[in-house]
Amino acid sequence: MKENSYRPLPEKLYIGTSKIEGNGLFTTEFITKNTELGITHIKYDKGDFHSNFIRTPLGGFVNHQQKNPNCVVYECGEYLKMKTILDINAGDELTLNYKLYEPCKNYVDDNQ
């Protein structure tokens, strides 16, 4: 793959069939706790979207898990970013406890 080519997901992530709901995000390799995974949402405050954020593929395919999610989303300037809060084994699904009802709040996970 060319170094400057567009890649909608980080290299070690893929979209697969989820046991939670529809499709989900999975990893091809072990990911350690506190690994930055990328941008899930981009701020867009023109009023065209209900939350003033546009989802990226990373944010669009991660499933909700109320108890024991392995990732968290947090605010970083004009972006919402995702990082792991647990070690994740190869083949495991990445999950979040969705907190996007008020997306302008600073996302700090209670599990940290």
Alpha-carbon distances, residue 46 vs 41, 50, 52, 53, 105 (angstroms)? 15, 10, 7, 10, 18
What is the tally of structural domains in the chain?
Answer: 1
**Whether the predicted model's global pTM rises above the 0.85 cut:** no
Domain that holds residue 34: 13-96
- DSSP assignment of 88-104, as one string? B-TTPEEEE---TTSTT
> DSSP alpha helices (H): ranges in 15-75?
57-61
Question: What CATH code is carried by the domain that includes residue 34?
Answer: 2.170.270.10
pLDDT tens digits, 69-103: 999 988 888 888 999 999 999 999 999 987 654 44
Each residue's pLDDT tens digit, 22-52: 999 999 999 999 999 998 888 887 766 556 7
Residue 74 domain-assigned?
yes
More confident residue, 68 or 49: 68
